[in-house]
Structure 1
Amino acid sequence: MSQGKTIIIVLVTLLVGFAGGFILRPIIAPMQQTAAVTSPSPITEAPSEARATQYFVAHIDEARQVVAGCRDGSVRGGECATAEEGIIKVDAEERRRRFLGN
Structure 2
Amino acid sequence: MWKSKTIIVVIVTLAIGFAGGFILRPVTAPPQQAVAAASPSPVAPVPTEARGTQYFVANIDEARQVVAGCRDGSVRGGECATAEEAIIKVDAAERRKRFLGN
TM-score, with length taken from structure 2: 0.58
- Over the aligned positions, Cα root-mean-square deviation in angstroms equals 3.1
- Decide whether aligned partners of structure 1 residues 101 and 37 sit closer, same or farther in structure 2, where only a CA change above 3 A counts: farther
1:39 matched residue in structure 2: 33
* Alignment of structure 1 residues 1-102 onto 2, 5 Å: 27=14, 35-36=29-30, 38-39=32-33, 48-102=48-102
Structure 1 stretches of 5 or more lacking a match? 1-19
SS at match of 2:33: coil
Distance 1:37 1:60 in 2: 47
Structure 2 stretches of 5 or more lacking a match? 1-6, 35-44
Distance 1:85 1:35 in 2: 45
- Decide whether aligned partners of structure 1 residues 35 and 70 sit closer, same or farther in structure 2, where only a CA change above 3 A counts: farther
Count of residue correspondences: 73
Distance 2:31 2:81 in 1: 35
Larger CA Rg, structure 1 vs 2: 1
TM-score, with length taken from structure 1: 0.58
